Amino acid sequence: MGLYVNTFMTGAVSVTCVVLIPFRYQTAAGLSPLQAGARRLILFSGASPIGAIVAAALCKKRRVPPLYIMMFGEILQILGLVLATTLLTSSNDRDEPALYGLQVCIGFGMGFVMGTATLLTPAIAERRDLGESSGFGMALLIGLMLTITTPGNGIDYCWRNTLRLNEVPWVADHKVEDQIVFPAAGYLAIAIEALSQILGDSLPLTPPIEFQNVSFNAALIVKDEGSGADSEIHTVMAPRRLSTKQLSSVYYDFSVSSWKSNHVLTHCSGGIRLSSATSSEGSVNIQDSVGYRMWPMKRWYEKASEEGLVFGPHMRSIIGLQADRSRLSSDSICTTHTKPLALAASSISYQVHPITIDACLQAAILSAAAGTPNRNGVFDVLIDTTRKPSLTVQKLADSLETHLRNNDVQAVSVVEFESLSNSSTITRETLVISLLELENELLGSLSEEHMNLLRTATDTVKNLLWVTGANMLAEPNPDLAMAPGLSRSIIMEQPSLNFNILDVGPVVGMGQASIATTCDNVVRIMFAPRAINDKEFIQHNRLLYISRLGSDFSTNALFRRRLGMEQGFQQTTLGSAGNARLEVGQPGITDSLYFQQHPAELSESLPKGYIDVKTQAAHRLLPGEDTKVMATLPVAWGAALYAVRERAYLRAGETVLVHSGAGAFGSAVIRLAQQIGAEVYTTVGARKRREFLIKEMGIPEDHIFCSRDESFEEDIKKATDGRGVDVVINSLVGDLMHASWRCVGDFGRFVEVGKKELLDAGKLDMSVFARGATFTAFDNTEMLFHPDDYYRKTYISMVKEILSMYRSGKIKPVPIMEFDVSEISQAYRFFSSKDRVGKVVISLENLNSIIKVMPPKYTSQFASHKSYLLVGALGGLGRSLSSWMRSQGARNFVFIARSGASKKEAKEQVDYLRRSGARVQVVQGDVSRSSDVEKAVAESKALGPIGGVVHAAMGLHEDLFGRMTNEGWHTSVRSKWRGAWNLHNALQSQAASPDFFLLASSMTGTVGVATETNYCAANAFLDAFSYWRRRQGLPTVSIGLGMVSEVGYLHENPQIEALLLRRGIQPLNEDEFLQVVDLGISNSGRDIGNSTVTNSHMLTGMETFGVRKLLDKGFEVTHTVMDDERSSILSAALDFDRTRNTGDPNNISSGASLGWMKGLPEVAAKSLMKETSAPSLKEALSLVIGRKFSNLILMPFEKIDYARSFAQLGVDSMIASEFRAWFWNGFAVDIPFLDFLSPDKNLEAVVSFAEATLATESKGKLGG
């Protein structure tokens, strides 16, 4: 009997089931303890968890009250015990069915009871004791409702939970800098779950939820696992109290707080309700989303991380963002995962997953919101002349022949270009000196025949000197400047080719002394040993110059300041600041005030220095009027008159309470109230202000109260015999505002002039309205900028009346404290001081005052009455550029495009520009055809004088020069070379030169890229063409763009972008690209006529930030362009970073004793010094080559499979080019380019090839 009572009272018979029954069964049946336990408890062990799972599901869905489930479980257990009483009394069969029945009944019963009891355990229970259910996911955030197991009133609901990162791992992906911060979306998800639990069965399957007045008050820092500092979260939710007697049936108020060390901190509070499914309140209709541009999310999240808001993989929930192309509108359309990644492999369910909610919050934020060792010896020489040599060129050729023979050079031949293919003297060891472009261009109009002849030299010889007459240090001939671009690219394809350029300037009139100097320089370049491996030379005034790339420190500093990469403030005089507006750098910090410069808009009618002002907002000053006084009248007095007359309807004999009566606004209200004949009560917070009101304003002392606490409420009641006042003009907040509200008498008017309580959705005591009171609020700024003319005219009329009252002597100015504009921070600090009386005025009269300014982000302004001609600007970068130009004032566009506006993206851009108010003409044509260009220029003139030209034509045909077709060559060259000349010539008919001529070049023209000889040559021409135009007095700039992410070619080909990033090449994002364009355009007109190559060409993409990041991660990457001698200044610091953790690569003495190293070329021995412990040359090569390849593709060395083909390892032409150049520079081994792209070649093959080549050279040196 005791057993049954115990079972009914506790619902637990585990001792009976687990101990007593097996024991008795063992005794009766003669079994061992193991046999009795194993045979008779298997069914019990299976039935118990099944019962617990069923019970958990029933509790979740609220189908049966928990008490009923427990009683049902207890009945099953009792039934099992009844069956147990029949054991071995009617049968001696050890396996009688009753044995199985009792195990199943007791197992199910115990599962039902214990499963339900576990779910009802208070939230402090360990998670391992909780049953898994479909509602378990939200229990990890909100915890369990305490009112289930503790007494409650059925109105206020409480939850308690201990938050652990191992249970909600996605929270760890939400960080502020290095700290994990519980996301705001988590609080909203908690509130949703709380409401779901309260509403229960009445909750729809997909409930529409509406939040109201949600406030995030403090961040909840979540500690890492193992820190022993779990976060205890408390959630409270209750129906909104509408009055002392009525609760809302719709709205619930909630708060989420944390408890730690006896300290409670409220993190979030607000309201929530189950909304109508058809309600559209709060939704946003984007009226004009056609043509919105898709923005990549990678840069957004990277920028957020840079600013300290770090989103991990789970929280990077937005996968697409469409926004206004000009980025001026706050409209945006975001796309997110329909199911967050955190749920991809989880059965945990949420009404709305916090990650999805966070995506909505993110969308709101986003909407608000880029050497070969020297060798000496005897060479066979072949000198080519031009096709129709002038006497001077012939004379130079003859002089070179003589000079070379006098320097012991044998077998000198002079041949014409056309006969080159018939010459049998060209061998690998032949030195070719070309005079093909000494006077006339060859590469721009290169025919197929001449291209094949040129390849005869580049594919055969290993020493080539190209002599040109480009004259790049004086009066340049840009047509002769393509060869450097060609050579830089071919060297990347054929690193064993020693391709040199010598610019000797114009040969016409070259005297004998200059010819002799030229001959000496040729010998010096090609034969004299040099410590540095320069390949490009310019001869000027008989001196030989080499070039070096250097940083433009002033432009780079301005670039970084504009983009916020470093402190951008400058100290300047007020007079030189130009159009600037006061801004707050950091809210609440007066020292962060600064002036943001804005370029003045270009206007056809207004002279420079003038701006448009609406006449209704301007009021004429009369002679002799003090500007300091007049500046104080419109805001304070205008607002005071509107408050007293239009909102308070103050009448004579009424009482009025004016808070902060010593301030400018309060003083003005008091003056107006006194004129009306009202009785004034006021409050102040300091003795000095009290004295001012008594002495200057005539307020009786017993009418002045304290504004620091609620004591004024009792003072008003005493002064008015409990009636209260007729009008309250309020500027207090919090409890003081509510105390002021209670001061309103019968039919009184309360005028709120503050903003805080309104923005914080403050609540009012509704009982005051029972007195017939009125609550009203206004903001004079909102009135002035209201779209309805009525409000603007009302406020402006108030200002006019105030000025009239002042001039007639009816009102007097308030006390004024003046500060110079250089003291603006002190002025704001004084404004908040307790002793301030009256108005603070900031004087702008001293133009020599020093102020802190921030330069404008963009300085380029485009005149709305001018037209702008853009070539090839309907692609990715061009669309971004034209959108930016429109935002900077341009309103007339003419585009030249081969396909016109037929492509979808081009049509969308044209439509976008037209919808935004611009006039757009698209000329379908080819910039390389002069007739098409002349037509476009005529279209531009019809829209207005041409204000600027952008030449961004781009044609790509990638291939090795050795197999490139002639048409492929001209695909890149023709549009840039011939197009630039066509634009220049067509513009000569215009009376005035355009304000700018922007040439979209590429860094490849300066540094060279394999498989792009045509593109590199064309861009080298553009850079020279820019210099030539500037020397003619025409504003021009060539911008050598590097890698540009987010827009353009790389954005549309992410695999190439990823490759360049792996090489450490630093990209420009779109903002940075536009910044570079702005700097180029704004500088294009400076120093015209006295220009150098430096200010005619801006080069980007040479930054080493990306390489440094990879070096910090342990990859020994190389920035290919830094291997060029011209980059030696830029690479010096990078070389230090690269070698600081390595040994001295020049110390090869330690390896001299190794047998396999003897006889190796010095360059190869240096490269192999890190592997002196290798047992053989092949093993050492295998390790060095494998590590280099690992760094090149950023794959861990231990994962490199030498047997896999290069194609399988993702090697493309760019990687192949760099790897091939490294082989030549590191081992003097020239591996065929196509071997790196072949599906049949792998690392084992190139290691064997390098070993064989080096072994042959070593054997030759040792005389073997």
Q: Rounded to whole angstroms, how far apart are CA atoms 1025 and 1031?
A: 10
**Residue 143 token pair:** 């915890």
**Active-site pick, 173, 253, 324, 358:** 358
Q: Are strands 679-684 and 744-752 parallel, antiparallel or unpaired?
A: unpaired
H or E stretch at 947: strand 946-951
For 1221, counting Cβ atoms within 10 Å of its Cβ (0-12 exposed, 13-18 middle, 19+ buried), the class is: buried
- End-to-end alpha carbon distance in the chain: 107
The residue with tokens 């600081």 is 1140
Q: What is the CA radius of gyration of the chain?
A: 42
Q: Rounded to whole angstroms, how far apart are CA atoms 358 and 366?
A: 12
Distances (CA, A) of 933 to 526, 567, 947: 44, 45, 16
User: Are the C-beta atoms of residues 472 and 516 closer than 8 Å to each other?
Assistant: no
User: Are the C-beta atoms of residues 219 and 181 closer than 8 Å to each other?
Assistant: yes
3-class DSSP state of 836: coil
Query: Among candidates 1044, 1015, 886, 1026, which has minimal Cα distance to 954?
Result: 1015
Q: Rounded to whole angstroms, how far apart are CA atoms 691 and 419?
A: 107
Count the Cβ atoms, other than its own, within 10 Å of residue 1255.
16
3-class DSSP state of 950: strand
Residue 117 CA neighbour count, 13 Å, CB half:
14
Query: Among candidates 521, 537, 525, which has minimal Cα distance to 473?
Result: 537
User: Are the C-beta atoms of residues 1229 and 1159 closer than 8 Å to each other?
Assistant: no
The residue with tokens 């133009």 is 847
Query: Among candidates 213, 214, 216, which has minimal Cα distance to 182?
Result: 216
Report helix angle 97-119 to 66-84, nearest 10: 160
Four-residue CA torsion sign, 910, 913, 915, 920: negative
Q: For the chain, what's the residue count?
A: 1264
**Residue 174 falls in the annotated catalytic set:** yes
Buried b (16+ CB within 10 A) or exposed e, 805-814: bbeeeebebb
Q: Rounded to whole angstroms, how far apart are CA atoms 539 and 502?
A: 7
The angle subtended at Cα 179 by Cα 178 and Cα 184, nearest 5°, is 130
User: Are the C-beta atoms of residues 121 and 143 closer than 8 Å to each other?
Assistant: no
Query: Among candidates 607, 502, 495, which has minimal Cα distance to 544?
Result: 502
Query: Among candidates 1234, 1164, 1248, which has minimal Cα distance to 1203?
Result: 1248
Q: Are strands 679-684 and 704-706 parallel, antiparallel or unpaired?
A: parallel
What region does 1263 belong to: left with phi over 0, alpha with psi -120 to 50, or beta?
Answer: left
**Residue 230 falls in the annotated catalytic set:** no
Count the Cβ atoms, other than its own, within 10 Å of residue 636.
22
**Residue 672 token pair:** 């107006």
User: Are the C-beta atoms of residues 518 and 504 closer than 8 Å to each other?
Assistant: yes
**Active-site pick, 173, 174, 503, 932:** 174
DSSP 551-571: --HHHHHHHHHHTTSS---EE
Report helix angle 1213-1227 to 1177-1193, nearest 10: 140
3-class DSSP state of 583: strand
Q: Rounded to whole angstroms, how far apart are CA atoms 1024 and 477?
A: 8
Q: Rounded to whole angstroms, how far apart are CA atoms 1075 and 557?
A: 12
Q: Annotated active-site positions, please?
A: 174, 358
